[in-house]
């Protein structure tokens, strides 16, 4: 009885410290609660839509449909398609076996894949996902990816996006990106542009271009370039069609959030990749995950928001309050920079100038650079010119470049580029950014020569070659008049 | 006799005074807490350790050109977790590491392994008056300490499943041995591993014998406390053969016939077949041309690729393959 009283008294005393003291950033089992809620929701939906009763089929019935589809064209194709729709999951196991069976003729495997897409049930979708992820034949993965865009089940998105991370075949990439777009997820546009600009064959370039145009048109945007900018820029005016994620997709997303606890980085990396590429609807779950009991979930949720960039701008206020959580402040600061939330500038500046946590100060300095606001320049300048540790001065100098004050720090960065104690590659990158923004003729000429010193694509330079490049680039910069 | 008694009395009194002083003397004053912002601060007192670490691949984990290229200059931020980790004592022994913001260019540095949350450092002795206020922490010697990064590819699990675990031989015994074998001289902080040819050579043996009219090549993991290769998916070990040429004659190109490898995540067509600790892998050399006297070689690769995958040449500098063992076999 005495302990609660004492706690209450202490709480009251703490409250006397000032009415403006920020409330503690609460931790609770956010993941468990969300998953339990969504599992119940999905189960209720499934109870409301029971699958059709199983039918007894003759052994050759489904293979016959597959052969019919494989060897017919035009309206003749309609018959097997209609029949398999009527059969539903009664046909699925046989279709899946035929699609995966290496001994089946390729055109029949493709037809079986198409029929799985026509069935479009939960089970058929699972088989398509398996094919898309594991089939050794790239053409079959491409077929499966195409069908995944047709099944009308948005919960395929996490696995489609994950496959997009690992897929090496460009044609499969095209159809994975298209499948994601069918659910109003345009994360695959980046990969489509890469295929269009650096195709293995000219046909692939044309296919990618055609898909980019079609996807943009379906999204109501005339220009594929603009479509790309809208998606990755966060679509501040809400021009893109909003995705309404199903309960099953939200459940899948929360399961990915739960996986962020894993010890093995393999799953964590995949989770970060997928979560940061889902639509802006994922911002709310990620903000909720910032409160989870598990530190890894909190930290990685912040990282996912950071990686979403301006698409996660809505997380700004929550991230701002997360700065008060000592277990999360560093990652919250980084995320505030990543999402480019201007409202965080005063808080980040305060951390930079007043925090006693070196790690947090560096994170704040970097975040201010990503905000790129001129108002931060005096605080950054004070850090750069002060008696601060080298890494903090370098973070400050880099951020000054990003905030448009690169001329002030170029010489310092040049010195850092040859200082073995500095982050030399980062200094080189900051100088490249600074140089790319200069308009005078000498700088333009220097920049061209600077770029010419970059290693050819796909070639990893030796340590000696890196040294030579840094030295030659430093020499180039010294030619710029000041 | 009385002189001896007097001497003994002096000794007893002296010892007593020493004991009293030890018990009642004020404790060694603690050094003021100091913020460590760079491992270079450690070099002021620990020059030898710092110099060894500077030589190590831990120190190069941020700026090595291979890492820079493969991580796309760390724009793949997933790589930062292990290549510039927060202090292990902060994230927890045996827990997965988390990425840090500061001093990234120092990679896996002194602070990452030794910094304690209260500003002191973990070491092998307690000395609160020293500037870094070392505290003896046995955790530094435990495999779980390395596991936050190095168990990401199951290396600690591989070790735990081996006889080395039962025998009490652990990571530090091979990768951070005592300098000159003398515990008083402390441990070597170069943390030698797959980049050290002598250590790689000591890990495996290569043998060959005739079996059923063909060559059977055996590779035995005799010295690695884990699989061979391990940890990095980029690592590979390849077996090649070629006819044994007469002295001065051109032996012709090496011919590839077996690979030890753990696949990257995107490689759906590569089967994991690392050589477990103590395992002997017998690989038949099926090539009908390998009938007479032959040379067999085991090459180690830090990156798995060859410039020409159809005709891999382990001796071409571009392929950066290291010869581990070579055999001459005659029927």
Report yes or no: A456 at the B interface, CB cutoff 8 Å: no
pLDDT, residue B265, reads: 74
Is the predicted pLDDT of residue B181 greater than 80, yes or no?
A: yes
In chain B, which residues have their Cβ closer than 8 Å to the Cβ of A463? Answer: 64-65
Q: Which of B102, B107, B157, B195 to mutate to test the interface with A (most CBs of A within 10 A)?
A: B102
Average pLDDT over residues B45-51: 96
CA distance A307 to chain B (A): 9
pLDDT, residue B8, reads: 66
Under DSSP, the state recorded for B99 is B
pLDDT, residue B17, reads: 63
Report yes or no: B65 at the A interface, CB cutoff 8 Å: yes
Q: Identify the band that residue B303 occupies on the pLDDT scale cut at 50, 70 and 90.
A: confident
Q: Which residues of A62-77 are buried (b: 16+ CB within 10 A; e: fewer)?
A: bbebbbbbbeeeeeeb
pLDDT, residue B276, reads: 97
**Which uninterrupted H or E stretch holds B242?**
strand B236-243
| pLDDT tens, residue by residue, A166-191 | 999 999 999 999 999 999 999 999 99
In chain A, which residues have their Cβ closer than 8 Å to the Cβ of B317? Answer: none
Count, residues in chain A: 482
Q: What is the ipTM of this complex?
A: 0.86
Is residue A401 classed as helix, strand or coil in its secondary structure?
helix
Tokens of residue A271, six digits: 């989770």
Bridge partners of B321? B301
Q: How far apart are CA B70 and CA A173, in angstroms?
A: 21
pLDDT, residue B247, reads: 87
Residues of chain A numbered 435-454 and touching chain B (CB < 8 Å): none
Map out the domains of chain A as residue ranges: 59-150, 153-241
Tokens of residue A204, six digits: 């692939």
pLDDT, residue B70, reads: 84
Using an 8 Å Cβ cutoff, are B101 and B95 in contact? no
Nearest CA among A178, A261, A244 for reference residue A213: A178
pLDDT, residue A390, reads: 97
A426 or A12, higher pLDDT? A426
- Matching CATH number, A59-150, of 1.25.10, 1.10.760, 3.30.70, 1.10.1740: 1.25.10
| pLDDT tens, residue by residue, A37-90 | 999 999 999 888 777 666 777 888 999 999 999 999 888 899 999 999 999 999
**Which uninterrupted H or E stretch holds A345?**
helix A345-354
Is residue B234 classed as helix, strand or coil in its secondary structure?
coil
- Matching CATH number, B197-329, of 3.40.50, 1.20.1050, 3.30.70, 2.60.40: 2.60.40
Nearest CA among B308, B302, B299 for reference residue B241: B299
Where in the sequence of chain B do the CATH 2.60.40 domains occur? Answer: 197-329
Q: Please provide the DSSP assignment of A352-392 as one string.
A: HHH-S-HHHHHHHHHHHHHHT-GGGHHHHHHHHHSS--HHH
Using an 8 Å Cβ cutoff, are A205 and A199 in contact? yes
A-B contacts (CB, under 8 Å): 87
**Which uninterrupted H or E stretch holds A142?**
helix A138-148
Report yes or no: A259 at the B interface, CB cutoff 8 Å: no
A396: nearest CA in chain B?
B102
Using an 8 Å Cβ cutoff, are B36 and B115 in contact? yes
Residues of chain B numbered 281-320 and touching chain A (CB < 8 Å): none
Nearest CA among B152, B123, B142 for reference residue B45: B123
3-state secondary structure A215-272: HHHHCCCCCHHHHHHHHHCCCCCCCCCCCCCCHHHHHHHHHHHHHCCCCCHHHHHHHH
Residues of chain A numbered 392-431 and touching chain B (CB < 8 Å): 392, 395, 421-426, 429
Is the predicted pLDDT of residue B22 greater than 80, yes or no?
A: no
pLDDT, residue A5, reads: 39
Is the predicted pLDDT of residue A146 greater than 90, yes or no?
A: yes
Tokens of residue B238, six digits: 């390849």
Average pLDDT over residues B31-46: 87
Bridge partners of B115? B121
Q: Which of B83, B97, B105, B144 to mutate to test the interface with A (most CBs of A within 10 A)?
A: B105
Chain position carrying tokens 């010892």: B15
Q: Identify the band that residue A430 occupies on the pLDDT scale cut at 50, 70 and 90.
A: very high
Average pLDDT over residues B36-46: 94
Nearest CA among B283, B230, B291, B281 for reference residue B256: B283
Is the predicted pLDDT of residue A365 greater than 90, yes or no?
A: yes
């Amino acid at each position: 009885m005495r302990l609660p009283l004492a706690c209450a008294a202490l709480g009251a005393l703490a409250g006397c410290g000032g009415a403006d003291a920020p409330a503690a950033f609460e931790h609770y089992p956010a993941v468990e609660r969300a998953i339990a809620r969504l599992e119940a929701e999905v189960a209720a939906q499934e109870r409301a839509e029971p699958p059709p009763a199983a039918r007894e089929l003759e052994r050759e019935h489904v293979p016959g449909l597959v052969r019919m589809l494989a060897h017919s064209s035009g309206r003749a194709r309609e018959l097997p398609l209609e029949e398999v729709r009527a059969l539903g999951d009664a046909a699925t196991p046989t279709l899946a076996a035929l699609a995966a069976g290496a001994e089946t003729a390729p055109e029949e495997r493709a037809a079986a894949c198409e029929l799985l897409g026509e069935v479009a049930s939960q089970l058929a979708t699972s088989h398509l996902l398996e094919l898309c992820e594991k089939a050794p034949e790239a053409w079959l993965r491409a077929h499966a990816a195409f069908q995944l865009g047709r099944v009308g089940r948005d919960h395929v998105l996490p696995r489609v996006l994950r496959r997009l991370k690992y897929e090496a075949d460009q044609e499969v990439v095209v159809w994975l990106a298209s499948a994601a777009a069918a659910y109003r997820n345009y994360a695959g546009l980046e990969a489509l542009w890469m295929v269009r600009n650096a195709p293995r064959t000219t046909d692939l370039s044309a296919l990618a271009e055609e898909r980019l145009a079609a996807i943009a048109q379906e999204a109501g945007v005339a220009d594929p370039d603009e479509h790309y900018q809208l998606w990755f820029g966060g679509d501040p005016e809400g021009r893109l069609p909003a995705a309404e994620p199903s309960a099953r997709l939200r459940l899948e997303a929360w399961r990915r959030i739960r996986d962020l606890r894993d010890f093995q980085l393999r799953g964590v990396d995949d989770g970060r990749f997928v979560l940061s590429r889902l639509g802006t609807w994922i911002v709310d779950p990620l903000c909720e995950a910032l409160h989870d009991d598990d530190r890894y979930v909190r930290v990685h949720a912040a990282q996912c928001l950071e990686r979403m960039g301006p698409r996660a701008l809505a997380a700004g206020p929550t991230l701002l309050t997360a700065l008060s959580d000592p277990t999360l402040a560093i990652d919250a600061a980084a995320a505030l920079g990543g999402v480019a939330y201007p409202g965080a500038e005063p808080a980040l500046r305060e951390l930079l100038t007043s925090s006693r946590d070196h790690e947090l100060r560096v994170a704040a300095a970097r975040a201010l650079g990503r905000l790129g606001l001129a108002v931060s320049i005096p605080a950054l300048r004070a850090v750069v010119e002060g008696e601060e540790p080298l890494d903090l001065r370098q973070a400050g100098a880099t951020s000054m470049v990003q905030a448009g004050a690169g001329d002030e720090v170029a010489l310092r960065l040049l010195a850092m580029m040859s200082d073995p104690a500095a982050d030399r590659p980062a200094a080189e990158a900051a100088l490249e950014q600074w140089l790319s923004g200069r308009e005078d003729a000498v700088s333009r000429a220097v920049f061209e020569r600077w770029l010419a010193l970059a290693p050819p694509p796909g070639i990893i330079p030796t340590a000696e070659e890196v040294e030579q490049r840094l030295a030659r680039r430093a020499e180039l910069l010294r030619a710029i008049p000041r | 006799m009385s002189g001896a008694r007097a001497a003994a009395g002096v000794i007893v009194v002296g010892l007593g005074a020493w004991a009293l002083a030890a018990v009642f003397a004020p404790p060694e004053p603690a050094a003021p807490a100091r913020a460590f912002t760079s491992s270079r601060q450690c070099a002021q007192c620990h020059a030898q350790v710092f110099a060894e670490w500077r030589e190590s691949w831990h120190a190069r984990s941020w700026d090595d050109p291979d890492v820079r290229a493969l991580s796309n200059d760390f724009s793949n931020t997933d790589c930062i977790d292990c290549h510039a980790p927060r202090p292990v004592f902060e994230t927890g022994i045996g827990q997965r590491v988390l990425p840090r913001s500061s001093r990234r260019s120092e990679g896996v540095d002194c602070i990452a392994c030794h910094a304690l949350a209260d500003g002191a450092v973990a070491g092998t002795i307690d000395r609160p008056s020293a500037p870094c206020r070392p505290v003896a922490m046995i955790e530094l010697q435990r495999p779980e300490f390395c596991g936050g990064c190095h168990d990401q590819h199951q290396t600690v699990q591989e070790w735990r499943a081996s006889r080395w675990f039962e025998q009490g031989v652990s990571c530090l015994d091979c990768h951070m041995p005592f300098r000159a074998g003398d515990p008083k001289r402390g441990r070597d902080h170069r943390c030698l591993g797959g980049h050290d040819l002598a250590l790689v050579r000591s890990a495996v043996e290569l043998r060959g014998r005739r079996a059923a009219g063909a060559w059977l090549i055996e590779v035995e993991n005799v010295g690695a406390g884990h699989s061979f290769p391990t940890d990095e998916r980029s690592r590979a070990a390849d077996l090649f053969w070629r006819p044994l040429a007469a002295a001065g004659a051109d032996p012709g190109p090496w011919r590839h016939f077996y690979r030890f490898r753990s696949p990257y995540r995107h490689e759906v067509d590569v089967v994991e077949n690392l050589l477990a600790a103590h395992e002997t892998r017998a690989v038949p050399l099926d090539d009908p041309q390998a009938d007479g006297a032959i040379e067999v070689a085991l090459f180690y690769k830090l990156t798995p690729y060859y410039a020409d995958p159809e005709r891999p040449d382990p001796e071409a500098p571009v392929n950066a393959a290291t010869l581990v063992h070579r055999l001459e076999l005659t029927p």
